[in-house]
A = this chain, B = another copy of it.
Amino acid sequence: MKHPKIVTVGVVGAGGFIGQYHLKRLSTVIEGVRIGAVYDINREKCDAIAAQYGAVSEATTEELIESPDIDAVVVTAWNAAHADLTRKCIAAHKPVFCKKPLATTLEDCAAVVQAEKEAGESLVQVGFMRRFDPDYRKIKEILKSGELGAPLMAHCVSRTPRIAPSHTTAMYVTNIVIHEIDLFRWLLDEELVKGQMLFPRSTSLAAEGLADPQLALMWSESGVLIDVEAAANSYYGYDIQCELVCEKGTIRLPDPAAPIVRSRLQCGFAILDDWSQRFPTAYQMELQHWVDYVRGRVSQPGPGCQDGCAACAVAEALIRSQTTGQVESVTL
């Protein structure tokens, strides 16, 4: 991998919400990067974005990926295209930052891993941004210090107040629990080997036929049991909680700080209404890390396609469990 001084990136899927979210960061707070080209299936939107960022509006993803002006690629296209786009980047020996998930099937994940292996270098970073959140990093640091002993359990909550009508039961795994899957592989430094999804009483606020909330159970190699409540119709707000239980104590993710208001018979603080303000530093840090890695300024790559593939395997076991009702083993 060559290490450009300033990384010229192309963004595929520039028109979506996440695309715009990353473009804004890349054009402002991320250091050492410039936006060279953008692609979106919506041509009009693509041209407008290109104009906004002084970038080339490419007509095809291939042209963008293969352009000699582009050092590296950010993939924020829809999930079904991730694997193919990532492989094309690998084929072009271009570093690629791919929004999670790496692929929608385990086969596709494995194919990306294989492609990267053949390319002989670490080219892919998957968008598991929570690894870059300062509070989760502090939790890992405390865990690694050993002062609280070995980890035994974790209790997690992931609630979002509302969801698109197209949300399916499987997407509680692929879009919500997927974050905790990667998080605990990273926090615990070991694989998750079994999983089960349970269906509690459903909220009347969920769409007809949707099981919401769901409870994921996951076991690590050493037996750490992680439970994750995944809710996509929580109504009251966006809320991420995590308590890691160790032998001699526990560590809990804090609520985001907000002014504390005392009003008539109430003391409280505001809860967020959506995800976009929950992990701003993490989203910034993951992109900065990727750019720094491409520039050769850090040697440790971020979460790569092995991680994306391993997360996909755990997700697949959980989705199987949604049908079988049983604990399912993770198979790679």
Contact = CB atoms under 8 A, between A and B. Distances in A.
Interface of A: 27-29, 31, 135, 138-139, 142, 147-153, 155, 157, 198-205, 213, 215, 217, 219-220, 222-225, 227, 229, 231, 233, 235-237, 239, 245, 247-273
Contact of A265 (B29, B139, B250, B271): B271
Contact of A138 (B147, B204, B231, B258): B258
B237 A262 contact: yes
A260 B245 CA distance: 12
Nearest to A235: B248
Contacts of A237: 262, 264-265
A260 B155 CA distance: 14
B222 A201 contact: yes
Contacts of A219: 200
Contacts of A236: 248-250, 262-266
Contacts of A266: 236, 268-271
Contact of A139 (B135, B231, B235, B259): B259
Contact of A263 (B148, B153, B262): B148
A308 B85 CA distance: 54
Contacts of A138: 258-259, 270
A142 B270 CA distance: 12
